[in-house]
Amino acid sequence: MARIDLDLAHSYRPNPRKDEDYALLPLKMSFADGGAYALLGPSGCGKTTMLNIISGLVVPSQGSVKFGERDVTRASPQERNIAQVFQFPVIYDTMTVAENLAFPLRNRGVAPERIRQRVGRIAEMLELSGQLDRRAAGLAADAKQKISLGRGLVREDVSAVLFDEPLTVIDPHLKWQLRRKLKQIHHELKLTLVYVTHDQVEALTFADQVVVMTRGRAVQVGTASELFERPRHTFVGHFIGSPGMNFLPADVLPGAPAGAATLGVRPEYVTLAAPQAAGAVKATVTQRQDIGTWWLLGAALADGSVVRARLGGEQAIPQLGETAWLTLAGSHTCWYGANEELVA
């Protein structure tokens, strides 16, 4: 295993001149030895390009990739000693489950007894022990993807294991089980894992650190709590959370800090206030939805801005068309200038 350091930019076009020409804008980033990371963002944001640069499938057009003290910028995937798991299972249907799991180890000349031990351990972790003697061809899609995951995890000598949206073809309920398994495996094996996904639930439940990306930029790296509580960029506030953060013109509230153009507040932290209460703003209810354990309230301010509030069902929820007084500013409020958080 190794620490991975990126100091690079990448464009698929010759002679890039503007931001739009880059798949990855200039960035410096490190992945700690033994860490679990997710690259999170919408399609086209650059996350798969970054993964392919780490793996050696793509050579960055500018800068370098280091594994520990070793510059691997132009090294092949084999020379980097990484394992990859792709969106669709990469297995041999004519082999048994055990033979598939053992294949990467046999290719490297690992002793048979060690192969048996390692295959047994990984199969047990992935709940494949009862299927080791079955041919892969007759297995369901989720079992085949488990084998593919196991092939990536079975080697002990890898610098990192890279996952490119590996659960896309899996049933939603099984996705939850496999995410839990991957987290458990990471804690036990201490491998460096980098996981690409567009699904915030996958990223936030799997990774210790999440890299949020948009338009070729890594706009924030943080824990699930940090991304939720203190989005450093408006895109993070919008992309993380369900529903995402409210963004309002800063002048809707007096006392905005200098340079603030936008107020950001999570729906979870918008509260109902008494009429005319200090600091509260007046709004008209435009949406009222019972989610089960909570209510989603939408309300329009005088300037037309819409605020969403996530409210507990134990309180009286205003009806459509009624006036609601809302408290927006508090310890959880963020202020932004040019989409970046203003940090005191």
170 and 25, same domain (yes or no)? yes
Give mean pLDDT, residues 85-104: 93
Mean predicted lDDT score pLDDT of the chain: 93
Global pTM value: 0.91
192 and 160, same domain (yes or no)? yes
218 and 246, same domain (yes or no)? no
155 and 81, same domain (yes or no)? yes
249 and 286, same domain (yes or no)? yes
Is residue 87 predicted with pLDDT exceeding 80? Answer: yes
Spatial distance between the Cα atoms of 90 and 87, rounded to a whole number of angstroms: 9
**pLDDT > 70: what percent of the chain?**
99
248 and 232, same domain (yes or no)? no
Judged by phi (left if over 0) then psi (alpha if -120 to 50, else beta), residue 265 lies in beta
Q: What is the DSSP letter of 96?
A: B
- Encode pLDDT of 203-212 as tens digits: 998 899 999 9
Give me the phi and psi of 297, to 5 degrees please. Answer: -110, 130
CATH code of residue 249: 2.40.50.140
Is residue 96 predicted with pLDDT exceeding 90? Answer: yes
Q: What pLDDT is attached to residue 11?
A: 97
- Encode pLDDT of 150-172 as tens digits: 999 999 888 899 999 988 878 88
Spatial distance between the Cα atoms of 49 and 62, rounded to a whole number of angstroms: 13
Confidence of residue 344 (pLDDT cuts 50, 70, 90): low
Of 84-88, 179-183, 326-330, least confident by mean pLDDT is: 179-183
How many domains are contained in the chain? Answer: 2
Question: Which DSSP string corresponds to 123-148?
Answer: HHHTT-GGGTTSBGGGS-HHHHHHHH
87 and 26, same domain (yes or no)? yes
Is residue 188 predicted with pLDDT exceeding 90? Answer: no
**pLDDT > 90: what percent of the chain?**
79
Q: What is the DSSP letter of 305?
A: -
Q: What pLDDT is attached to residue 18?
A: 94
Pick from 275, 277, 287: which is nearest to 267 by CA? 287
230 and 253, same domain (yes or no)? no
Classify residue 129 as exposed, middle or buried by CB count within 10 Å of its CB (0-12, 13-18, 19+): middle
Last residue of a domain, one of 238, 265, 287: 238
Last residue of a domain, one of 207, 238, 269: 238
165 and 223, same domain (yes or no)? yes
Q: What pLDDT is attached to residue 179?
A: 84
Residue 258 structural domain? 242-341
Q: What pLDDT is attached to residue 178?
A: 83
CATH code of residue 181: 3.40.50.300
97 and 111, same domain (yes or no)? yes
- Encode pLDDT of 265-275 as tens digits: 999 999 999 99
216 and 253, same domain (yes or no)? no
285 and 305, same domain (yes or no)? yes
Last residue of a domain, one of 238, 260, 286: 238
Give me the phi and psi of 223, to 5 degrees please. Answer: -75, 170
